[in-house]
Chains A and B, each alone.
Chain A
Amino acid sequence: MTAPTDATTVREAVPASAAPRRFTVRGPGRERRRRRRDRAGYLFLLPWFIGMLFTIVPFFASLYLAFTDYNLLNDPKWIGLENFAEMFRDENLHQALKVTFIYSFVSVPLSLAAALGVAMVLNRGIRALPVYRAVFYLPSLLGASVAVVLLWRYIFGLDGIVNGFLGWFGIDGPAWTSDPDYALTTLIILHVWTFGSPMVIFLAGLRQIPAMYYEAAAVDGASKWRRFRSITLPLLSPIIFFNLIQSLIASFQTFTQGFVMNNGGGGPANSTLFYNLYLYQQGFNQFHMGYASAMAWTLLVIIAAFTALTFFTAKYWVHYDN
């Protein structure tokens, strides 16, 4: 170990018991001071420590339950991998996965594209920016509320305003919410409607790209598209990356939209049976607690895998300065 320059580095680098002798110059009070300092820190963190118990214990408990048959009344019975084998056979589960994947992989890129597009228009020095930002951001605060999902049901209903609007163009709109082919589409549109929160993050990122880059590129004769491709995208890629992961993780866990859209059933014909909605049905309607835990862990692994994949590919498309 190289000679540390001050006491702080020593404290962090080596366990307290192995502290080098030459730093005991402050005398025997040092140990006491350290203990007092620890006590203050732990006291401030006390609520958090107790809260962590409410997180860590359930975390491992659900891993255990995933290998059991448990209905809340009898004791959990160890059944090995049976829950996971059942998941391979359960067609509703496959449907739930399909719904969740389609929803996530369509609505997340669409809403990020909308967010980036509007953020770029807003970024270039525009009057009334706070007003626009407020208008675009507000829906993202309301999107998960029951009131808005209910509203969506009626806007897209057979006689709703969407079909009324399409009617002006002579298009005979479908029964969006009761047709299995279209029900999920309405929820994807609802998701895109909430592009405001990634937009605000993009806006913060765009403001940090120095204008001189664009000026220099324009002097060199770069087209608008070229400037977007070669300056905006690379410099913004860490934020795109961040938004992508956040939005994917959130959309994999969609629940309220599917529940409210079709009175808790995930219909019509299971077309809005989101993964977490099916998990809820299994766990809290049927009390298949073991199966629900197995489902929860499977989704956790899927989310972790996609996050890891995004991180892994990041080195090919995320540009970091320095």
Chain B
Amino acid sequence: MSITLRSSRPAPPRSSDDEDTRLERFGSTRRSRFTRHMILCLVGAFMMYPLVWMLSSSLKPNSLIFSDLSLWPTEWDLGNYAEGWTALPYDFTVYFVNSLVIVALSIIGNLLSCSLAAYGFARLDFTGRKLFFALMLGTMMLPGHVLLVPQYILFAKLGWLNTYYPLLVPNFLATNAFYIFLMVQFMRALPRELDDAARIDGCGPFRTFWRIIMPLSLPAFATTAIFTFISVWNEFFGPLLYLTDPELYTVPLALRQFVDSEGQSQWGQMFAMSVLSLAPIVGFFIAGQKYLVKGIATTGLK
């Protein structure tokens, strides 16, 4: 896939965003610039509206959510957060801790296993490397649902149902080919001379990886960590399939209980917990925007 992207480059890429703000592209007049800002603001407002509405609804008393149309609550009610936190069979403390544990371990697993594999593919030469690399790219295209049934059976036979193993172990086994690919692309861009110098100084491949390549690949590590955070934090299907004990539920599974238990009237609490569940993603996004944008631009990752 990278080939399709790369072959579209007739000229070396222009570098930064700052340049773009200064850049006067052909045919750009003051009036057309104004129109463009208007359009963008309008579209942006439309897109942000649902999120802002959710935030505002989480701060309103239940009776006003659908009747009070103003985004600035006329009557503040922070009680939604306090009550929502304890509204389900277990406190949200439990669900958040569960989610955090899974996310943290998934990040560690992906970083470790994918970077090892990526270094192997990018820098080492061994029999069958090209074949394995092609196989890796193939699994990147393979829709996950094909593996679902046998994996479930396998995990059931291993006694892993209703544990976190099915969610965690694959991450320690570099099953996320996208992250390997991302790291391979990054490592290939690092100068080879570094490896040669390290070898002359007596470093084996492991020391070279650990002391030279890994520290230099930190941006790719950051991208992988952020993507892992967002996808695992959002993940619904895996936990739904493998976790049955409510004590083990992650935040998304817990949120769904708000509509399962069909109180139907506790919207405020539901929105309050929804806001809290999205907050870490927004936070990570703001902190890591640079890496995210670079990451999807190089691999086309979601």
Contacts and interface: CB of A to CB of B under 8 A. Distances in A.
Given A150-B255, A284-B152, A296-B149, A207 B7 contact: no
A37 B156 CA distance: 38
Contacts of A201: 296-297, 300
B33 interface: yes
Contact of B5 (A54, A62, A242): A242
Contact of A283 (B149, B240, B258): B149
A53 to B, nearest CB: 8
A16 B126 CA distance: 11
A138 interface: yes
Interface in A96-133: 118, 121-130, 132-133
Nearest to A114: B43
Q: Size band of the A side of the interface?
A: 35 or more
Nearest to B260: A263
Given A127-B21, A236-B8, A284-B241, A161 B53 contact: yes
B211 interface: no
Main secondary structure of the interface of B (DSSP, over half): helix
A253 B209 contact: no
A136 B274 contact: no
Interface residues of B, number: 110
A283 B148 contact: yes
Contacts of B22: 125
Contacts of A193: 47, 50
Interface in A247-296: 249-250, 252-253, 255-256, 259-260, 263, 276, 279-280, 283-284, 289, 292-293, 296
Contact of B278 (A55, A132, A142, A208): A142
Contacts of A236: 8
A197 B13 contact: no
B218 to A, nearest CB: 19
A297 B146 CA distance: 6
Interface in B189-236: 204-206, 209, 230, 234, 236
Contact of A260 (B33, B48, B256, B277): B256
B297 A44 contact: no
B180 interface: yes
Nearest to A319: B8
B132 to A, nearest CB: 7
A85 interface: no
B299 to A, nearest CB: 9
A135 B124 contact: no
Contact of B153 (A16, A72, A153, A239): A72
Instruction: List 5 tightest A-B contacts by C-beta distance, closest first.
Output: A41-B126, A51-B173, A44-B120, A58-B150, A147-B274
8 contacts: A47-B112, A124-B28, A126-B37, A129-B17, A135-B48, A146-B252, A211-B26, A321-B8
Given A44-B124, A147-B274, A207-B13, 17 more contacts: A34-B127, A44-B119, A54-B173, A55-B142, A62-B147, A65-B149, A125-B21, A141-B230, A145-B234, A146-B255, A147-B273, A147-B278, A200-B297, A214-B26, A218-B26, A279-B145, A300-B143
